[in-house]
Amino acid sequence: MIKLIFIFFFILPLLTQDKYTKLRNDMVKFQIEDRGVKDKYVLDAMRAVFRHELVPASHISQAYNDHPVPIGYGQTISQPYIVALMTELADIKPGMKALEIGTGSGYQAAVLAEIIDSVYTIEIIKELGTSAADKLKKLGYKKVQVKIADGYYGWKESAPFDAIIVTAAAEHIPPPLIEQLKEGGKMIIPVGHPFQVQNLMLVEKKEGKIKTKNILPVRFVPFKRGKE
């Protein structure tokens, strides 16, 4: 009986965890590295975050697939590659301070928190924000600050930020966010329909001037398998 309890409580979770570790490693290798993301911090972070813990239970089996996953309220958790690419383009390095607009599932915030200590994230949909905050805490990302508010105003008290990541496609960039971007800082925004591979836009503040750069189109290197 004791053996059974031991198996149930200790061995099974380890086996399950092992399965997800493999899925995560495969995700990083085939979906992210093979498509050209090189930043070591980003790759390590993507390997570390338990994405399956942040998607709804009904979609756990798809957590590490190469596409966005619905999280309710008409929102999705972005495709892993897009999260990695956005983090790389924002040039996140230890010691920096980052703001995320659109917490959603909390996945992007978790990836950031694997690299830096100061992560601020704002969600406008109360239910999503509360759920993400709980899950992030449960996963040990206790330093991530989650606020349920209108992202338009940014997070003035903690500004300026080295990087701002806007996770929802936008048709305008709120002026307060530009103000809260540090000189030399980078902002990254997806442009386009959430269901398609999006183009990303990099906004840079240099000498008080704002320039945008379209990372386009997001190159979709054919999916490679079986190279292990």
Partner 1 sequence: MKRHGAVIFLVSASLIAYQLALMRILSVAQFHHFAYMIISIALLGFGASGTFLYFIKNRFLKNFEAAIFFACAACSSAMILSIFVLHFIHFDPFLLIWDITKIWKLALFYLMIMLPFFFGAIIICSFFIKYSEQINKIYFFNLTGSAFGGVGVLGLLFYFEPYRLPEIIAVVAFIASVFSFSILKRKKIFLIPLALNVIIIFLGWMLPYEIQTSEYKSLSKAMHLMDAKIVNEKFSPFGQITTVASPVLRYAPGLSLNYTGEIPVQTGLFSDGEWVGGIIQSDSNKAADFLKHTTSSLPYQLAKSGNALVIGVGTGTEIRTALQNGNFNVDGVELNPQVTEISNVNFPKEKVGIIIGEGRGYLSQTKNSYDVIAIPILEGFSSSAAGIQSVFENYLLTVESLELMLSKLSDDGVLAISVWTNYPPRHSIKMFAALVESLEKLGIVNPALHIAGIRSWSTATLVVRKTPLASNDIENIKIFCEANSFDPIYYPTITDEEINRYNLLEEDLYYKSSIKILSPQRNEYFDEYNFNIEPPNDDKPYFSHFIKFKSLPYLREILGNESVAFMELGFFILLLTLLQIVLISFVLIIIPLFFLRKEEYPRSSKFATLIYFGGLGSGFMLIEIILIQKFILFLSHPIYSVSVVITALLLFSGIGSYYSTKFLKNVSKKLQFILILIIITAAGYSILIPGMFNYLVHLPVIIKYLIAFLIIAPIAFLMGMPFPIGMSLLAQRFSNLIPWAWGINGYLSVVSAIAAPLLAMEFGFRVVIVIASIMYLVALLISNKERFTF
Which residues bind to partner 1, rule: CB under 8 A? 62, 65, 67, 69-70, 72-75, 124-126, 150, 152, 169, 171-175, 178-179, 191-193, 195-197, 199, 201, 203, 209-214, 216-217, 219-220, 222
Rg of the chain, C-alpha, whole Å? 18
Contact present, 62 and 47 (Cβ < 8 Å): no
Indicate which residue of 61, 78, 118, 131 is catalytic.
Answer: 78
Concerning whether 78 is annotated as a catalytic residue, the answer is yes
What distance in Å separates the CA atoms of residue 195 and residue 74, rounded to the nearest whole number?
A: 11
User: Rounded to the nearest whole angstrom, what is the least distance from the CB of residue 27 to partner 1 in the complex?
Assistant: 15
CA–chain centroid gap for 38, Å, is: 16
Contact present, 188 and 101 (Cβ < 8 Å): no
Burial 126-141 (b: 16+ CB within 10 A, else e): eebbebbbebbeebeb
User: Of 81 and 141, which has the nearer Cβ to partner 1?
Assistant: 81
User: Rounded to the nearest whole angstrom, what is the least distance from the CB of residue 48 to partner 1 in the complex?
Assistant: 25
Across the strands, what pairs with 161?
181
Tokens of 46: 């993507």
Q: Which of 85, 93, 79, 80 is nearest to 36 (CA)?
A: 85
Contact present, 177 and 155 (Cβ < 8 Å): no
User: Of 48 and 178, which has the nearer Cβ to partner 1?
Assistant: 178
User: Rounded to the nearest whole angstrom, what is the least distance from the CB of residue 59 to partner 1 in the complex?
Assistant: 8
User: Of 138 and 213, which has the nearer Cβ to partner 1?
Assistant: 213
User: Of 33 and 192, which has the nearer Cβ to partner 1?
Assistant: 192
Q: Which of 137, 157, 141, 160 is nearest to 149 (CA)?
A: 157
User: Rounded to the nearest whole angstrom, what is the least distance from the CB of residue 195 to partner 1 in the complex?
Assistant: 5
User: Of 45 and 122, which has the nearer Cβ to partner 1?
Assistant: 122
User: Rounded to the nearest whole angstrom, what is the least distance from the CB of residue 127 to partner 1 in the complex?
Assistant: 8
Q: Mind telling me the catalytic residues? A: 78
